[in-house]
Amino acid sequence: MVSKIGTLILVAGVAVVGVGEAAAGAGETLRLQPLIQEALAVNPEIRAEAKKWDAAKERPPQAGSLDDPMLSFEIENLPTNSFAFTQEDMTMKKLGLSQSFPFFGTLDLRSEVAHREANAIGHGYQDKRNEIVRRVKEAFYDLYAIDRSLEIVEKNRELLREFVKIAETKYSVGKGVQQDVLKAQVELSKLLDEQIRLEQSRQAAEARLNAILNRPSHTPLGRTEEVSKVELMMELKELQTRALENRPLLRGLQEEIERSKAANALARKRYFPDLTMSVGYAFREDSAMVRRSDFFSAGFAINIPLYFKTKQDRQVAETAALINSAREQYQAARNEVFSMVKGLTADIEKGRKLLDLLETGLIPQARLSLDSAVAGYQVGKVDFLTMLDNQITLFNFEKEYYRTMGEYQTSLAKLEWVVGLPGDVAKGPVH
């Protein structure tokens, strides 16, 4: 009996430190990188941002083009007593063409405003892609922790069922007490409750991941692949510097600042008049007595910014305020990014230390304690409740290990998103 229990304990311990091999779900092994590639290809949020960026890239050529020329046709000096084109010398049919030319530099500034806006939208698109990668990783690591916890629960249920049999056997021959049997059965029921709770959590995580992948929410997902702990490669200051250089959100806000500056320069151009040039050709009809020649005309016109106090001044003030607003938004986002980087690096360091403690200290010690308790129980030196308590302790440490591993990897994924370097802030094998 001792060897049988020892074998069961060994089986339960195989789940620890990333070496579990039993399947937790139906279907093929769920691998992270293919999920990321699929999400980047099919996620509707990404595609919406891409189309928004495509639309924005069409605006700079429009903004930098001249207004359409105007073609006009007039009938001038037509006498109302006869409506005859030959009665009066000054009756004519006039065809005209005019073109407006904004003040020097206006078209370039219009184009720059649109170009900066398109750049900001493009950075928003890149940030959305990084966000989707983060969300895929978060859902995947949730599933990973749940899958390993379900395996641990099932193995501990098997072990507890054997404990119940042992307790019942001892009780039947008068060497045990009924309380041992009842206690083991209660713990077995707790594990069943834990399994139900974990399965419900897995369904929620599956639905969340399927939504990101643009799949039906009920699409089944297989058991997640094994995950190894990776190490953070950069110090806090380097991470913050990289965030300033690479985070699309911050780069997009910088483009908003430049767009506002260009809009302010454009508003100042409106103090100067635009030029409209025109040419015309008038056709006159000959009378029976007189041969009349046609007329040619040319001219120009400018607008007079007479109401600059209520228009141009206000436009300049408006765009100047928008510059300050964009700068404050950038500063607020920069502060938030720095704060998140610091918080996440602290979380990652805490998770790393806890994983090391569980992997090299608490779990091996708890397994040795359980082995010793089982051996002592078989010879009557350890009571059943002590053995059961050791088994529960090991179970909790194993669950804590995978919960911490999931949170650790999730914090890394969030840090990659905040810094704007997906897959580039940590090192180590991910199997």
CB 94 within 8 A of CB 73: yes
Does the structure show a pLDDT above 70 at 40?
A: yes
Averaged confidence pLDDT in the chain: 85
Most confident of 154-168, 174-188, 209-223, 387-401: 209-223
Does the structure show a pLDDT above 80 at 12?
A: no
How much is the pLDDT for 178?
A: 66
Task: Report the percent of the chain where pLDDT is more than 70.
Answer: 87
How much is the pLDDT for 7?
A: 44
Rounded CA-CA distance 410/420 in Å is 15
Rounded CA-CA distance 291/366 in Å is 118
Q: What is the pTM assigned to this prediction?
A: 0.82
Does the structure show a pLDDT above 50 at 160?
A: yes
Give the pair of three-digit tokens for residue 352. 């790393």
Rounded CA-CA distance 431/429 in Å is 6
φ and ψ at residue 73, rounded to 5 degrees: -140, 130
CATH number of 2-66+102-271+308-427: 1.20.1600.10
Is residue 228 helix, strand or coil?
A: coil
How much is the pLDDT for 228?
A: 83
Does the structure show a pLDDT above 80 at 84?
A: yes
Most confident of 28-32, 82-86, 296-300: 296-300
pLDDT band, very low/low/confident/very high, at 162 (cuts 50, 70, 90): confident
Over residues 308-335, mean pLDDT? 93
For residue 400, what are the contacts with CB-CB under 8 A and spacing of at least 6?
A: 358
Q: Other CB atoms closer than 10 Å to residue 163's CB: what's the count?
A: 26
Higher pLDDT: 244 or 421? It is: 244
pLDDT band, very low/low/confident/very high, at 16 (cuts 50, 70, 90): very low
Rounded CA-CA distance 230/427 in Å is 5
For residue 156, what are the contacts with CB-CB under 8 A and spacing of at least 6?
A: 12, 191, 391, 395
Does the structure show a pLDDT above 50 at 11?
A: no
Rounded CA-CA distance 253/333 in Å is 9
How much is the pLDDT for 4?
A: 45
Over residues 169-178, mean pLDDT? 64
φ and ψ at residue 299, rounded to 5 degrees: -170, 180
Task: Show the CA angle centred on residue 136, arms to residues 134 and 137, nearest 5°.
Answer: 65
Does the structure show a pLDDT above 90 at 167?
A: no
Higher pLDDT: 183 or 300? It is: 300
How much is the pLDDT for 159?
A: 79
How much is the pLDDT for 195?
A: 87
How much is the pLDDT for 427?
A: 61
φ and ψ at residue 19, rounded to 5 degrees: -115, 10
Is the domain spanning 69-101+273-307 CATH 2.20.200? The answer is yes
The full DSSP string for 52-105 is: HHHHHHTHHHHHTSPPPPEEEEEEES--TTT--TTS-TT-EEEEEEEEEEPPTT
Does the structure show a pLDDT above 90 at 431?
A: no
CB 232 within 8 A of CB 425: yes
Rounded CA-CA distance 23/32 in Å is 17
Long-range contacts of 25-29 (CB under 8 A, 24+ apart): 25/147, 25/202, 25/220, 25/221, 25/222, 25/223, 26/220, 26/222, 27/220, 27/221, 27/222, 27/223, 28/222, 29/222, 29/223, 29/224, 29/225
Give tens-digit pLDDT for 222-237: 888 888 888 888 888 8
The CA–CA distances, whole Å, from 302 to 100, 272, 273, 305, 421 equal: 9, 10, 6, 9, 53
For residue 37, what are the contacts with CB-CB under 8 A and spacing of at least 6?
A: none
Report the largest interatomic distance among the alpha carbons of the chain, rounded to a whole angstrom.
144
Q: Which of 340, 341, 370 is nearest to 9 (CA)?
A: 370
Q: Where are the domains of the chain?
A: 2-66+102-271+308-427, 69-101+273-307
How much is the pLDDT for 28?
A: 82
φ and ψ at residue 15, rounded to 5 degrees: -70, -15
Q: Which of 400, 30, 37 is nearest to 227 (CA)?
A: 30
Task: In the chain, count H helices and then E strands.
Answer: 11, 6
Task: Report the percent of the chain where pLDDT is more than 90.
Answer: 50
Over residues 31-52, mean pLDDT? 92
pLDDT band, very low/low/confident/very high, at 170 (cuts 50, 70, 90): low
Q: Which amino acid does the sequence have at 142?
A: D
Does the structure show a pLDDT above 80 at 175?
A: no
How much is the pLDDT for 180?
A: 67
Higher pLDDT: 185 or 299? It is: 299
pLDDT band, very low/low/confident/very high, at 82 (cuts 50, 70, 90): confident
Rounded CA-CA distance 148/135 in Å is 20
Q: Which of 306, 311, 326 is nearest to 252 (CA)?
A: 326
Does the structure show a pLDDT above 80 at 265?
A: yes
Does the structure show a pLDDT above 60 at 395?
A: yes
Task: Show the CA angle centred on residue 65, arms to residues 63 and 68, nearest 5°.
Answer: 115
Over residues 312-324, mean pLDDT? 94
CB 112 within 8 A of CB 385: no
Give tens-digit pLDDT for 103-121: 999 999 999 999 999 999 9
Does the structure show a pLDDT above 80 at 374?
A: no
pLDDT band, very low/low/confident/very high, at 290 (cuts 50, 70, 90): confident
